[in-house]
Amino acid sequence: MISRISIAALVRLNTAERVSRKSETKRKLFYEISQDSVFEIDAVLNIAGDFNYLWSDNTFKLG
């Protein structure tokens, strides 16, 4: 699960890489990849919470 979060957390890098793309099609692709990564992080954190992998003393509410 940690590896999934680590991979999905590259959302910022995907967005930064998008800046270098000149075509609108490629920029849209990087936005979609970034958005998918955010959804994946959300899902993984929800699953981690369901399995009590997260404790209230070391977590915080996102968004």
Note whether residue 63 is domain-resident.
Answer: no
Note whether residue 41 is domain-resident.
Answer: yes
Per DSSP, the three-state class of 55 is coil
Note whether residue 10 is domain-resident.
Answer: yes
Note whether residue 36 is domain-resident.
Answer: yes
pLDDT of residue 26: 79
Encode pLDDT of 35-58 as tens digits.
Answer: 888 888 888 888 888 888 776 665
Note whether residue 21 is domain-resident.
Answer: yes
pLDDT of residue 27: 78
pLDDT of residue 30: 78
Q: How many domains does the chain have?
A: 1
Note whether residue 62 is domain-resident.
Answer: no
Q: Find out whether 33 and 9 touch, Cβ atoms under 8 Å.
A: no
Note whether residue 30 is domain-resident.
Answer: yes
Encode pLDDT of 14-30 as tens digits.
Answer: 667 766 767 888 778 87
Q: Find out whether 40 and 9 touch, Cβ atoms under 8 Å.
A: no
Alpha helices in the chain (DSSP H): 2-8, 11-19, 24-50
- Number of C-beta neighbours around residue 44 at 10 A: 18
